[in-house]
Structure 1
Amino acid sequence: MDRPRTHTHNIERLKAAGLRPTRQRLALAQLLFGTGDRHVTAEQLHGEALEARVPVSLATVYNTLHQFTESGLLREVVVEASRSYFDTNTGRHHHFFVTDSGDLMDIPAGDIALGELPLPPEGTEIDSVEVIIRVRREPRAAG
């Protein structure tokens, strides 16, 4: 996809989500959505922005990611109390989290069969179920 078409698409995407298409939001949207579905941390996106010569602070990256999440453009995946990924695939699906590398990989929603869920507390209803399966690389066979 060429740059003008992508730029226009990102302007429309932000406006449809109720966000003003500022220069920084557009630059971060291009980095996030320009290469298909992906998982990214704020620190990773900040590094990519600096490499692309986008003058943006880490705080602005965090704020923008949270604005994109609140408006439905991203999905936040919390894998640890201090580690979140932002997922451009907002459809129903689950994740493998590779603990020794920090990689996050999609699992299609239909690939996991959930048994009976417990009844939610009185006065509440289940909104969603997110499964994160933690895995680690197998040790290499000696020899």
Structure 2
Amino acid sequence: MMAEASRQVEDKLRRSGLRPTRQRVALATLLFAKGDRHLTVEELHEEALDADFPVSLATVYNTLHQFTEAGMIRVLAVEGSRTYFDTNVSDHHHFFVEGKNEVLDIPVNNISIGNLPEPPEGMEIAHVDVVIRLREKRS
């Protein structure tokens, strides 16, 4: 089973134009094994260490940015110092639960975006990110 998952990850890396190195395969396997999710560099680093895959935080950071450049994941800046990496690269928006540092997908049909400004000459809109911040109800 693990060999099959590893083979699928290697194919995904190759299709994205990345060489399937041992570190990329291991990190991509962890990243994509649980379906669509939102992770920080630190969270993936911790998962790698828990899986007995010793890797530096810098390597995880660099690998996630390589995956982003290759279009495998996307960056979601929710808070100034906290960046999440989203395995769902389709157009969608997010809830951010304050105090829990939790990011949740908003179903794509629940928001419509209109009246976007014209981009500057020679530019096009790549995508629009909407983040709705949530908190526990106050009494």
Establish whether TM, by shorter chain, passes 0.5.
Answer: yes
Q: Normalising by structure 1, report the TM-score.
A: 0.91
Aligned match of 1:86:
85
Q: Is the 8 A contact 1:92 1:108 kept in 2?
A: no
Query: Aligned partners of 2:2, 2:126: CA distance in 1, in Å?
Result: 38
Deviation at 1:17, TM superposition (A): 0.8
Deviation per residue, 1:45-88 (Å, 9 max, x gap): 00011111101000000000000010011011011221110011
Unaligned runs of 5+ in 1: none
Gaps of 5+ in 2: none
2:91–2:127: 8 Å Cα contact kept in structure 1? Answer: no
Which residue of 2 is the match for residue 124 of structure 1?
A: 123
- Following TM superposition, where does structure 1 have runs of at least 4 consecutive aligned residues deviating by more than 3 angstroms? none
Q: CA deviation at 1:93?
A: 0.4
Displacement of 1:103 after TM fit?
Answer: 0.3
Identity over aligned pairs, percent: 56
The aligned counterpart of 1:33 is 32
> How many angstroms does 1:20 deviate by?
1.0
1:125 and 1:70 mapped to 2: Cα distance?
A: 18
* Distance (Å, rounded) in 2 between the aligned partners of 1:136 and 1:63: 32
> What is the alpha-carbon distance in structure 2 between the residues aligned to residue 128 and residue 115 of structure 1?
13
Q: Which moved more, 1:117-126 or 1:18-27?
A: 117-126
> Which whole-Å CA distance do the structure 1 matches of 2:125 and 2:22 have between them?
38
CA RMSD of aligned residues (A): 1.2
What corresponds to 1:13 in structure 2?
12
8 Å CA contact 2:73–2:88 kept in 1: the answer is yes
CA drift at 1:135:
1.2
CA contact (8 A) 2:41 2:60 kept: yes
Q: Separation in 1 of the partners of 2:124 and 2:70?
A: 22
Q: In 1, distance between residues paired with 2:11 and 2:130?
A: 32
After superposition, what is the alpha-carbon deviation per residue over 1:30-49, rounded to whole angstroms, capped at 9, x for unaligned?
Answer: 11011111110000000011
- Paired residues in the alignment total 139
